[in-house]
Structure 1
Amino acid sequence: MKYYLIDLERSISLGRIHYWKPNKQGYTIYIIDAGQYTQEEAKRLVMDDIDKITVCISVEKANSL
């Protein structure tokens, strides 16, 4: 299963969801440009986030909303 990563700080302060781009290369508000990370990679990146402002959501769930 693949996951999107969401930066909560940017999303809340700017009022739009900010997804991580592929290969951790910045952020995008467009889901089509968002990176898709493996479950293992997504969990590691969320846990390693010092500020604890990153969350993940499955691609399947995000696309069903």
Structure 2
Amino acid sequence: MKKMIILFAIGIAAISCGGGGSDSGGCSYNGKTLHVGEKGGCYYVSSSGNKEYVDKKYCRTCY
């Protein structure tokens, strides 16, 4: 049972963070598309148009 739960969690993480070498790479944080800035910052654009930075760990697979 534990193995099934772990595999399920890994599958969800893979779907939500997909790989890629583009700006966003299909990664998301709380339903917002993540972007990687020129200097490596990880952010999403808020509804007001501002960049909201999140921990870089959320963009690990976005590069």
More helix by share: 1
> When the two structures are superposed, what TM-score results if normalisation uses the length of structure 1?
0.30
Which is greater in Rg?
A: 2
Q: Which has the higher contact order (CA 8 A, sep 6+)?
A: 1
> When the two structures are superposed, what TM-score results if normalisation uses the length of structure 2?
0.30
